[in-house]
């Protein structure tokens, strides 16, 4: 197969979408399929043998933290040049608009996948009156696809309710070999705890943006002096957060990668996840693979992943007392160790092999190609 993937974000950016795509591309390439990635031009031209066709990127006035590519006729020329068997548009919103348009115009089979809950984000940018328009925009794009994917059952239910057609859940995964409790490092714990490793250490990993709702953690730190918070990542509201959390037991590290990131996870006592806007939150599985219980605000996607008092602790959104009570339970050493063990065991069920193979099978189904499983059954 020759697959064209059109995405709003790709390397060298790091987020859950990029992680999922790079794992899928590696899998497709290992099975000798050709892959062309059409993405904002950030200087990367090749990945694992896949060709990356860059489209001019620009910073948008309402989100200057990362450049995006706008709809562009260049997409049509790239598709005409490569003549893929199938087009997969990831998170169609800007560049993806051209992906949907020209895939349909050139009569290529089309898959679309929904990863970012942009309509919900509008609540955090004082743009909530635009939500109906945004839902209409995304439904119009996705309903031109032959097959739609999303990343959790909770989001599938919401998309179904809004009239999206033929939506299916793309299973989750984690690099279980890259995140493991054995990456615990005393120097990293000392660094993340501001030199107070004896205190309870919570870690947040992710993009620092309004919809991540990190500000909700400040009252916890004001009431529990024995708790430290490490915020790993960067983003458009980092300066605001640093100002807001000034005087609290909080460390901002910026982005960490590779072994340093694995150490950051494994050297904490728990992972804290205050957002209710995620379509999944792959970082939850990364924390669990590291042997961390996840303390998460209740939402459909988090409740699909976190089993209260088994793999983590759930708290009521916007309820400081509920959050404080969840953190208090970490003081039960037996429960804490039980959740650590169960979190790792749960993560081990979700390597990237299955979701990557699932995507390949979706492509094969649309193109009428017997899957490897079907070929074996026919023999």
Residue 187 sits in a domain of what CATH number? Answer: 3.40.50.2000
Pair 206, 342 in one domain: yes
pLDDT of residue 373 exceeding 80: no
Residue 178 has which token pair?
A: 């890259």
Q: Give the pLDDT confidence of 100-123 residue by residue, as tens digits.
A: 999 999 999 999 999 998 887 777
Q: 3-class DSSP state for residue 345?
A: helix
Per-residue buried b or exposed e for 221-239, using 16+ beta carbons within 10 Å of the residue's own CB:
beebeebbbbbbbbbebbe
* pLDDT tens-digit map of 196-231: 999 999 999 999 999 999 999 999 999 999 999 999
Same domain, 92 and 166: yes
Assess whether 144 and 229 both reside in one domain: no
Could you tell me the two tokens for 11?
């390397």
Residue 167, pLDDT above cutoff 60: yes
Residues 338, 218, single domain; the answer is: yes
Q: Compute the mean pLDDT over every residue in the chain, rounded to the nearest whole number.
A: 95
Q: Where are the alpha helices (DSSP H) in 227-318?
A: 238-244, 258-266, 282-289, 300-305
Give per-residue pLDDT as tens, 294-304: 999 999 999 99
- pLDDT of 4 above 70: yes
pLDDT tens-digit series, residues 9-36: 999 998 999 999 999 999 999 999 999 9
Sorted by sequence, the CB contacts under 8 Å of residue 21 that are 6+ apart come out as 5, 7, 10, 37, 90
Q: 281: which 2 tokens?
A: 């939150």
What is residue 375's predicted lDDT score, i.e. its pLDDT? 63
Same domain flag for 241 and 263: yes
Residue range(s) defining the domain that contains residue 257: 181-347
326 & 193 share domain: yes
Look at residue 129 in the predicted model and tell me its pLDDT. 81
What pLDDT does 372 receive? 66
Q: How far apart are CA 189 and CA 269, in angstroms?
A: 10
Specify the higher pLDDT residue, 1 or 281.
1
| The pLDDT value given to residue 376 | 59
Reported pTM: 0.92
Alpha carbon 269 to chain centroid, angstroms: 22
Distance CA 278, CA 254 (A): 21
pLDDT at 346: 98
Q: Which has the higher per-residue pLDDT, 167 or 119?
A: 167
Judge if 198 and 169 occupy the same domain.
no
Percent of the chain with pLDDT over 90: 90
What pLDDT does 349 receive?
Answer: 96
Q: How many domains does the chain have?
A: 2
* pLDDT band of 125, cuts 50, 70, 90: confident
64 lies in the same domain as 13 = yes
pLDDT surpasses 70 at 377: no
Helices 333-347 and 282-289, interaxial angle, to 10°? 120
pLDDT digits (tens, 9 = 90+) for 47-105: 999 999 999 999 887 667 789 999 999 999 999 999 999 999 999 999 999 999 999 99
Question: Per-residue pLDDT averaged across 346-357, rounded?
Answer: 97
Would you state the pLDDT for residue 34? 98
Confidence tier at 5 by pLDDT (50, 70, 90) = very high
Q: Which helix (H) or strand (E) holds 167?
A: strand 167-169
**190 and 326 assigned to the same domain:** yes
- Name 374's Cβ contacts closer than 8 Å, sequence gap at least 6: none
Alpha helices, DSSP H only, in 53-127?
74-82, 95-105, 118-121
Quote the pLDDT of residue 374: 64
Query: Average pLDDT, stretch 129-146?
Result: 95
Same domain, residue pair 333 and 356: no
Do both 341 and 368 map to the same domain?
A: no
Whether residue 364 sits in one domain with residue 324 = no
Q: Which two tokens stand for residue 132?
A: 């109906």
């Amino acid at each position: 197969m020759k697959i064209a993937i059109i995405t709003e974000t790709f390397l060298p950016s790091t987020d859950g979408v990029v992680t999922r795509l790079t794992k899928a591309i590696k899998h497709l390439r290992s099975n000798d399929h050709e892959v062309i990635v059409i993405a904002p031009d950030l200087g990367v031209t090749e990945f694992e043998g896949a060709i990356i066709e860059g489209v001019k990127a620009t910073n948008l006035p309402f989100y200057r933290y990362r450049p995006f590519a706008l709809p562009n006729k260049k997409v049509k020329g790239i598709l005409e040049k490569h003549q893929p068997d199938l087009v997969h548009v990831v998170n169609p919103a800007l560049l993806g608009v051209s992906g949907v348009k020209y895939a349909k115009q050139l009569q290529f089979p089309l898959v679309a996948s929904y990863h970012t809950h942009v309509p919900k984000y509008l609540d955090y940018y004082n743009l909530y009156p635009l939500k109906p328009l945004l839902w209409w925009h995304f439904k119009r794009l996705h309903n031109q696809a032959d097959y739609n994917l999303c990343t959790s059952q909770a989001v599938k239910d919401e998309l179904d309710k809004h009239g999206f057609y033929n939506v299916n859940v793309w299973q989750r995964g984690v690099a279980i070999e890259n995140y493991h409790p054995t990456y615990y490092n005393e120097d990293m714990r000392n660094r993340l705890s501001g030199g107070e490793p004896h205190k309870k250490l919570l870690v947040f990993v992710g993009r620092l943006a309004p919809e991540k709702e990190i500000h909700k953690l400040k009252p916890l730190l004001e009431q529990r002096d024995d708790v430290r918070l490490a915020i790993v990542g960067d983003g458009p509201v980092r300066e605001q957060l640093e100002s807001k959390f000034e005087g609290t037991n909080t460390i901002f590290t910026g982005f960490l990668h590779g072994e340093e990131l694995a150490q950051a996870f494994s050297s904490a006592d728990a992972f804290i996840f205050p957002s209710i806007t995620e379509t999944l939150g792959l970082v939850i599985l990364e924390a669990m693979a590291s042997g961390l219980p996840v303390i998460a605000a209740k939402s459909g996607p988090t409740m699909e992943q976190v089993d209260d008092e088994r793999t983590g602790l759930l708290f009521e959104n916007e309820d400081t007392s509920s959050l404080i009570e969840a953190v208090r339970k970490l003081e039960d050493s037996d429960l804490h160790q039980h959740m650590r063990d169960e979190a790792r065991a749960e993560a081990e069920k979700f390597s990237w092999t299955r979701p990557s193979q699932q995507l390949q099978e979706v492509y094969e189904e649309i193109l009428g190609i017997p899957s490897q499983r079907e070929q074996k059954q026919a023999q």
